Each structure stands twice: as C-alpha cells, then as structure tokens.
Amino acid sequence: MADTIFTRALAQAAAAQGSSQALAYQLHVPENTLLRWMSGRAQMPLAAFRRVIELLVEHEQSGAQPQALAPAEKLDFNIGEVFARCARCGGTQFAPAVAGTALRMTSALLCGSCTFSVKHGELLNQLASQAIQHSRAMLALRKRPKAPPQPSAKVIRLGRR
C-alpha cells in the first residue's frame, strides 16, 4: 500500500466510519473503487478527497480522539513534487499550534517560518487542489504541439526532387 496523504486520510476515514464499505457508501462509490484508492493503485478525485476531509472533521467534532504527536514535531505535507505552502510566506514546514496535541483535521498548524495559522484540513484541501493544477499543467506541456518553423525562415530540403 502506498503511503500518501490520500491513503492516510482514507484509512482514517474508514476507521471513523467503521468499515470501508460504510465509507464507500458515504462517498457514493463502489467499494472496489475505494479499495483501489486506499491501496494507491488509482488516483482519487479531488471532490472525493474533499468529502473525506469533511467526514473526518465531522467525526472529530463528535468527540473522537486521534493519536497524539511527539512534542513540537515539524510536519510537511506533499503530493508528489507539490508541497503544501504557507499562504503568507511560502514556507513548507508546519507545527501544531499546541505542541504535543493530537493532529486533527480541525487542528491549527503554524508555519515554521512566519507562524501563520492554518487549519490542517484546509491545508490538505489546498494541497490537493495545487496537485491537480500541477498535474494538469504537466499534461498540457506534454500535449502542446511543437512550434512550426517561422514563415520567414528558409527551409532547406535534402535529397532529390
């Protein structure tokens, strides 16, 4: 199983819902599709990821207790080459606002550079959006046709006529 932000969030959501079947029902997808997302064998759509974040926030607000972090742990979040960045300074490292507390989707994180505060779930949503934009931009670059020769340039042909 791949260890990505997507697979970790899906595993947490499945545990919160009680089973992968219950999570699949909440996401309105077949369980086999969900299992492919959870194993990292298929890319999860952005709308489904946002719904997973919403489900985790709802679960946390109902009083669930996540695992605690090590004190003052620095965190960075990435999807492939795309890193979550601070909206103010562009920093990529974050720490919980209250050291040693459990990391929840509703937890405040502070930028390691400028101490700007952002919610964990919001940061992951922004990261997912940036990753989708990045993958679309890379796809557009690959599909872009090569520039034709300039009309004023001489074309030299080799071979017989």
**Residues 54/11, Cβ–Cβ less than 8 Å:** no
103 and 124 co-located in one domain: yes
Closest CA to 87 of 40, 125, 140, 133: 125
Say how far apart CA 93 and CA 112 lie, in whole Å: 5
Residues forming beta bridges with residue 83, ordered by sequence position: 78
19 and 46 co-located in one domain: yes
User: For 23-82, what is each residue's pLDDT tens digit?
Assistant: 999 999 999 999 999 998 998 898 999 999 999 999 988 876 655 545 557 888 888 888
59 and 71 co-located in one domain: no
Query: For residue 100, what are the domain limits?
Result: 65-144
Q: Which of 64, 87, 113 is a domain's end point?
A: 64
Residue 128 maps to a domain:
yes
3 and 47 co-located in one domain: yes
Residue 153 maps to a domain:
no
